[in-house]
Amino acid sequence: MESNHKSQGDQNDEMVIFSIISSSICSECGAELIKGRFLKMEKEKPLCLECADLDHLVYLQSGNAALTRRSKKYSNLSAVVMRFSRSRHRYERQGLLVESEALIRAEKECKGDEAARKISRERAAVVRELADKEYVRQFSVKIRMQYPGCPAQEAEAIADHACQKYSGRVGRSSGAKAFDANPSSRPKPL
Ligand SMILES: [Zn+2]
């Protein structure tokens, strides 16, 4: 057990800050630190963030993995915030202290991703709709090939009906599927 103690600290290079659960006093400036404040232990002595030269950092609560990862990446200096859970008898990660510029940059990037995801979702919906329309068109062509007397409009209506799903989205009912001789000719989504 004892031999593990040091290596555990070594493999984790992150600076740790505690969100305290009972009040403390900064050993350097004497400031009273109430429950919930941040504290750094340096050589067994509690320090407030000002005295630890970390008061320029901003707190980012855990919960958004991408934002956390990016904030940490862009921050020259960061610290993990831990708090002791009385019920679970262990320290638990609460969030991260990072430079505000890093957090702003990370937030911008995450927002950019969000916009890009929205665009690709919309694009996929358009492609699906085009693919459905094309499928109905091919289907009606096949109906007319099989029943040369069938008027174009009627063939299209039959095809449209056969391809309609309950959801309102065009799909392939079993009848329509059976009719589909060459599925690979269907347009593929981008
Ligand atoms: Zn202090």
Find the farthest-apart pair of alpha carbons in the chain and give their distance in angstroms, rounded: 96
Cβ burial of 179 (10 Å; 0-12, 13-18, 19+) is: middle
In tens, the pLDDT along 75-103 reads 999 999 999 999 999 999 999 999 999 99
* Ion ligand 1: residue ranges with CB closer than 5 A: 26, 28-29, 31, 48, 51
Report how far ligand 1's centroid is from the alpha carbon of 8 (Å). Answer: 28
Q: How many CA atoms lie within 13 A of 63 on its CB side?
A: 4
- Dist. CA 18–CA 157, nearest whole Å: 69
pTM of the model: 0.60
In tens, the pLDDT along 16-69 reads 999 999 999 999 999 999 999 999 999 999 999 999 999 999 999 999 999 999
